[in-house]
Structure 1
Amino acid sequence: MLSAVLLAAVPAAAQAPELAMLGSLEKGGWSLRVRDDGSTQQICLRNGQELIQLQHRQPGCNRFVVEDGADHVVVQYTCRGSGYGRTTIRRESPRLVQIQTTGIANGTPFSLNGEARFQGRC
Structure 2
Amino acid sequence: MCVALSGAGHPLPVASPPKELAALESGQWVLKDRETGRERRLCLGDRRQLLQLRQVRHQCARFVVTDSERQVSVTNDCGAAGNERTDIRIETPRLFQLQSQGIADGAPFAAAIEGRHVGICR
Same topology, TM > 0.5: yes
Aligned to 1:48: 47
Aligned to 1:104: 103
Deviation at 1:80, TM superposition (A): 2.6
Aligned to 1:25: 24
Deviation at 1:49, TM superposition (A): 1.5
The answer to whether the 8 Å contact 2:58/2:81 transfers is no
Aligned to 2:76: 77
Deviation at 1:108, TM superposition (A): 1.2
For 2:52, what is the secondary structure of its paired residue?
A: coil
Aligned-residue sequence identity (percent) comes to 41
For 1:81, what is the secondary structure of its paired residue?
A: helix
For 1:33, what is the secondary structure of its paired residue?
A: strand
Q: Which runs of 5+ in 2 are unaligned?
A: 1-15
TM-score by length of 2: 0.80
Bigger RCO of structures 1 and 2 (CA < 8 A, at least 6 apart): 2
Amino acid at match of 2:50: L
Deviation at 1:18, TM superposition (A): 6.0
Equivalent-residue separation in structure 2 for 1:55 and 1:39 (angstroms) = 15
Equivalent-residue separation in structure 2 for 1:109 and 1:18 (angstroms) = 25
| Structure 1 residue ranges, 4+ long, deviating more than 3 angstroms after superposition | none
Equivalent-residue separation in structure 1 for 2:33 and 2:51 (angstroms) = 15
Tell me if 1:35 matches 2:34: yes
Q: If you compute each CA radius of gyration, which structure gives the higher value, 1 or 2?
A: 1
For 1:98, what is the secondary structure of its paired residue?
A: strand
Equivalent-residue separation in structure 1 for 2:25 and 2:79 (angstroms) = 30
Could you list the per-position Cα deviations for residues 76-108 of structure 1 after superposition, in whole angstroms to 9, with x for gaps in the alignment?
011133211000000000000000000011111
Deviation at 1:48, TM superposition (A): 1.6
Aligned to 1:118: 117
Deviation at 1:60, TM superposition (A): 2.6
Equivalent-residue separation in structure 2 for 1:49 and 1:61 (angstroms) = 12
Deviation larger for 65-74 or 45-54: 45-54
Equivalent-residue separation in structure 2 for 1:121 and 1:113 (angstroms) = 24
Equivalent-residue separation in structure 2 for 1:59 and 1:19 (angstroms) = 20
